[in-house]
Structure 1
Amino acid sequence: MAVLCKKNVALCLLFTITSGLCFFHSSAELQRFEHPTKSDGSLSFLVVGDWGRRGAFNQSQVAHQMGRIGEKLDINFVVSTGDNFYDDGLTSEQDTAFEESFTKVYTANSLQKQWYSVLGNHDYRGNAEAQLSPLLRKIDSRWLCLRSFIVNSGLAEIIFVDTTPFVNAYFTDTKDHTYDWRGFHSRKLYIANLLKDVELALKESTAKWKIVVGHHAIKSVGHHGDIKELSKWLLPVLQANNVDFYMNGHDHCLEHISDTNSPIQFLTSGAGSKAWRGDIKGLNRGGLKFFYDGQGFMSVQLNKMDAEIIFYDVFGKILHSWRTSKQLHQST
């Protein structure tokens, strides 16, 4: 069993999660979307999370700066790390919050690109199926939100992971909130199959850069901190398969933490609107390179040799930049 686990982390976790079941139902392969690079082979995109408040809490100001930076970098697309609509997701495909928090806020020309989005816990508090509906794409063609999927450019492969079902509290602490778990016949099998699909995609990827996006943080010094279920189940899969970046929202802040056990960089961009919570967990944490408890967003620029990550505040000021070279396997 030990040898099997070393070769296939997700399969090992599958046996553990399913608590003795001798078989499992294989999930469908993650849906893939091809997104070409620029003519020079590079790729650039913005990352924002926890934003949908009809322009309030400086959402509109962040959106304005995203438009400015997006034009400067000639971005290919935008990544949303979840909690797309507050406080309780959408009520239906006809909910006006979709246009009032998305279409009418992100109006800059540079942001009229594809948006790739995952669901956050606040999205699951509403009609989660509504955000996944193709009907929203008829309202605004930029919108693409699925539970888990892959965006591949050849240069980079980005795996979007539905992290909310991993968190035990959303199934046990239901006094104040209810969650839309329609379609979940077995949470354990859902998680196990998702881990298997993620590991398979990472193992088969030939992309120069491997990126995983989820709503919840694996490592964070913000309000919510580390999500222990992701540290237990998802992190070993990422570490075993040479993932370069894990990007998330959930904590309403901007932060950069280096893994002490692998080359993975943990990048939180959850500051698209309401922020400034003021509670911080351990700024002396090992691997912490940057933390900002305020509003803003992140840009990612990739080519075959280098990656550059930049964090911006609500005024578009650069707060933190970090570059790494793939060839030299070292960062500055």
Structure 2
Amino acid sequence: MAGLWNHSLQWVLACFSFCIISISAELQRFEHPIKANGSLSLLVIGDWGRRGHYNQSLVADQMGWIGEKLNIDLVVSTGDNFYENGLTSIHDPSFKKSFAKIYTAKSLQKRWYSGNHDYRGNVEAQLNPILRKIDRRWLCLRSFVLSSGIVDFFFVDTTPFVDKYFLRPGHHTYDWRGVLPRKEYLAKLLKDLDLALTASTANWKIVIGHHPIQSIGHHGDTAELIVRLLPILEVHDIDMYINGHDHCLEHISSTRRHIQFLTSGGGSKAWNGDIDQLNQDGLKFYYDGQGFMSAELTQTEARIVFYDIFGKVLHNLDLSKELYSTM
């Protein structure tokens, strides 16, 4: 009987250990090399996939020019990659017509790291690794960490946080495979993010989501992210939160911490004149047209630049910080 009890106890402890490991599992991590001089440069684009329409092709052309000028290492997409409802399957022609055949410049033939995968469509299509065989640049996951030594990017799947998609979906149909039960999914995501931020030794920490935490644009602040995500970002003293969703270019500086809220959602269709005139605390820049953003980083310096569809510089942000030893 004692032997049976000991065996059962060992089994329970083994299962308990497995559960702890599963719950505490880190976000999938990818490595991207920096340049030989220790720098990293990239472009950020969001809300873009419209088969070249609504000035998407013009934005893509300027991205090509700026990408060559900066000798970029990678491209970040803040989501809403294929309008109106994502991809129907891995064979959906929109993948080529809205991505592969639009961003054709030589400088843009780098890895594209993408968040938000259009839950209104076949949610698993954009996540399918087969797309990487169709176009080697494409990498899209729900949430993950991209490490480049001097900077860690934390991609966060923000769509499941938003209550209205579940409670008031309207005429849209959402594909929640991989997300339900929602409460457990979000709890694990937040825990994994907290663990990843805690483990990060990079001098720059940048979080990327689709939905804004702070914005004066059409959608405005995302209340659920302010309540659930922002406290974790503040505890870990991140440097930037970058998003799309609002079809504009925007820079808001936190009035509580040094976090910079940056919106790059001008990849195609924009909402001219759609702005909240009353909620402008910390606002440094807002542009209600199409465009994109660049970022150049070294261990101690960061330069952010916003461009319009003609490549004109609209706004820039320069940040600097000390290099903290991890020894």
Matched, 1:134 2:129: yes
Matched, 1:45 2:38: no
- For 1:183 and 1:117, locate their aligned partners in 2 and report how far apart those are by CA, in whole Å: 18
- For 1:24 and 1:327, locate their aligned partners in 2 and report how far apart those are by CA, in whole Å: 35
- CA contact under 8 A between 2:247 and 2:266: conserved in structure 1? yes
TM-score by length of 2: 0.91
Q: CA deviation at 1:325?
A: 1.0
> SS of 2:76's equivalent?
strand
Write the mapping of 1:160-199 to structure 2, written as runs, cut at 5 A: 160-199=155-194
- For 1:266 and 1:281, locate their aligned partners in 2 and report how far apart those are by CA, in whole Å: 16
CA offset digits 1:49-106 (Å, max 9, x no partner): 0000000000000000000000000001000000000000000000000000000000
Amino acid at match of 2:71: D
Matched, 1:77 2:74: yes
Matched, 1:150 2:145: yes
Aligned pair count reads 305
Amino acid at match of 1:33: F
Name 1:262's counterpart in structure 2. Answer: 257
Name 1:35's counterpart in structure 2. Answer: 32
- For 1:86 and 1:244, locate their aligned partners in 2 and report how far apart those are by CA, in whole Å: 30
Name 2:231's counterpart in structure 1. Answer: 236
Unaligned stretches of 5+ residues in structure 1: 1-22
- CA contact under 8 A between 2:160 and 2:179: conserved in structure 1? no
Change (3 A) 1:112 1:283: farther
Q: CA deviation at 1:217?
A: 0.2
Amino acid at match of 1:119: N
Q: CA deviation at 1:279?
A: 1.6
CA offset digits 1:203-257 (Å, max 9, x no partner): 1110010000000000000000000000000000000001000000000000000
Change (3 A) 1:25 1:134: closer
- CA contact under 8 A between 1:24 and 1:189: conserved in structure 2? no
TM-score by length of 1: 0.89
- For 1:208 and 1:245, locate their aligned partners in 2 and report how far apart those are by CA, in whole Å: 12
Name 2:111's counterpart in structure 1. Answer: 114
Q: Which has the larger radius of gyration?
A: 2
Amino acid at match of 1:85: F
Matched, 1:103 2:97: no
Q: CA deviation at 1:327?
A: 2.5
- For 1:252 and 1:242, locate their aligned partners in 2 and report how far apart those are by CA, in whole Å: 27
> SS of 1:224's equivalent?
coil
Name 1:86's counterpart in structure 2. Answer: 83
- CA contact under 8 A between 2:152 and 2:206: conserved in structure 1? yes
Name 2:58's counterpart in structure 1. Answer: 61
- For 1:283 and 1:177, locate their aligned partners in 2 and report how far apart those are by CA, in whole Å: 30
**Greater alpha carbon shift after TM alignment, 272-281 vs 84-93:** 272-281
**Greater alpha carbon shift after TM alignment, 320-329 vs 308-317:** 320-329
- For 2:219 and 2:231, locate their aligned partners in 1 and report how far apart those are by CA, in whole Å: 21
Q: CA deviation at 1:282?
A: 2.7
Amino acid at match of 1:152: S
- For 1:175 and 1:256, locate their aligned partners in 2 and report how far apart those are by CA, in whole Å: 31
Amino acid at match of 1:240: V
- For 1:216 and 1:24, locate their aligned partners in 2 and report how far apart those are by CA, in whole Å: 30
Runs of 4+ in 1 over 3 A off after TM superposition: none
Name 2:293's counterpart in structure 1. Answer: 298
Amino acid at match of 2:107: S
Name 2:246's counterpart in structure 1. Answer: 251
Amino acid at match of 2:187: A
> SS of 2:216's equivalent?
coil
Identical columns (%): 65
- For 2:92 and 2:263, locate their aligned partners in 1 and report how far apart those are by CA, in whole Å: 28
